[in-house]
Amino acid sequence: MARVVVSPEARDGDAFVIEGEAYRHAVNVLRVARGDSFLVVDGSGHEFTCVAETLSSRSLRARVTQVRTLSPAPALSIHLCCGLLKGEKLDLVLQKGTELGVARFTFFAGQRSTVRIDPRDEVSRRGRWQRIVQGAVGQSGGGAYPDVDGPVSFDTVLTQAVQADLAILAWEGDGHTPLPRLAAVLRGHAALRTVAVLVGPEGGFSEGEIEAARAAGVTLVSLGARILRAETAAVVMPALLLAASGDLG
C-alpha cells in the first residue's frame, strides 16, 4: 500500500490534510485518487490507514480508518553531533542516521570546517533537513522524527554532549598516545541510556578542540587502524552503538 509521510501539523482530528510536497508525492507519484486507501506516517510513532475523501488542486483530505503502532525507538538514545560537511554528505548523514534510529542531530561549525551556512539560507536549509528526516522515517518504517538543530558552536556541542550518560569523540589520534577502541569503552559502561557521539568535519578536529573535549569530560575513542571519512564515521558509530546495545544486527 502506498505510504505518504507528513508533518505532525497535518493531523486534523480523525483526518489528515495533506499539502505541499507530501500532496505532490501522493497525487503525482503515488497516483492517490478519491476513495483510495493509503498509509500516512506523521512522526508520532504510529502508521495510519487512511481513505482519500476530498481532493483539490492543492490539498488532499484523508480520513483515518485504522491506526498501527510502529516499532519503538531504540532503547539507546543517540545524540549525533557532526561537523558541517560539504554538499550532499551532510544529507547522507542525516538520512542514514535517521534510518538507523538516531534520536537527535546537532551540526556544528568546527575550527577546520570548510562549510559555512549563510544565515539567510538557514530557513531553507532547515526545511531541507526536515524533508530528509521525514523521507528516511517513511522509508525505514521508523516511528518518531529525530530532533535536528544547528549549526551551533563547538562549545555549545560540548555543553550538550556531556549531559548524556556517555560522550564519545571519534579521533584518529596524534600518533603517540594510543586511544581506547570503542568496544572497550562500551564494556566499561553498562546500562547506558543516552550516548552523545562527536564527529568532526572533513578537516577533522583541531588540537584545541580535542583538548577542550578532554577537559569537558568527553571520552576519545579509536575506530581502528583505518581512517574513515567524516560522513562514514558519522554513520558507522551509531551503527556500532546500536549493535552493541542489541538493537541492530
Residue 90 half-sphere exposure toward CB, CA atoms < 13 A = 29
The confidence score (pLDDT) of residue 43 equals 81
Specify whether 60 is located in the same domain as 163: no
Domain that holds residue 154: 77-245
Specify whether 83 is located in the same domain as 175: yes
Domain boundary among 44, 69, 94: 69
Q: How many domains does the chain have?
A: 2
Q: How far is CA 120 from the centre of its chain?
A: 23
The confidence score (pLDDT) of residue 71 equals 72
The amino acid occupying position 33 is: A
In 164-229, alpha helices (H):
182-187, 207-216
Specify whether 87 is located in the same domain as 121: yes
Specify whether 101 is located in the same domain as 161: yes
Nearest Cα neighbor of 25 from 134, 109, 113 is 134
CA dist 201 to 83, 104, 120, 197, 237, Å?
4, 18, 22, 13, 15
The series of mean pLDDT values per 10 residues for the chain, 249 residues long, is: 87 94 92 94 88 94 92 87 89 93 92 73 77 80 80 94 95 76 85 93 90 95 85 94 86
The confidence score (pLDDT) of residue 141 equals 66
Contacts of 185 by beta carbon, 8 Å cutoff, 6+ apart: 166, 168, 219, 221
The confidence score (pLDDT) of residue 176 equals 67
Specify whether 52 is located in the same domain as 129: no
Percentages of the chain per state (helix, strand, coil), in multiples of 5: 35, 30, 35
Specify whether 163 is located in the same domain as 196: yes
The amino acid occupying position 37 is: S
Specify whether 161 is located in the same domain as 54: no
Q: In what order do the strands lie in the sheet with 77-83?
A: 147-153, 104-109, 77-83, 194-199, 166-170, 219-221
Rounded to 5 degrees, φ, ψ at 29 are -100, -50
Specify whether 30 is located in the same domain as 135: no
The confidence score (pLDDT) of residue 210 equals 94
CATH, residue 8:
2.40.240.20
pTM: 0.81
Specify whether 34 is located in the same domain as 126: no
Cα–Cα distance between 75 and 89 in angstroms, integer? 27
Domain boundary among 69, 93, 112: 69
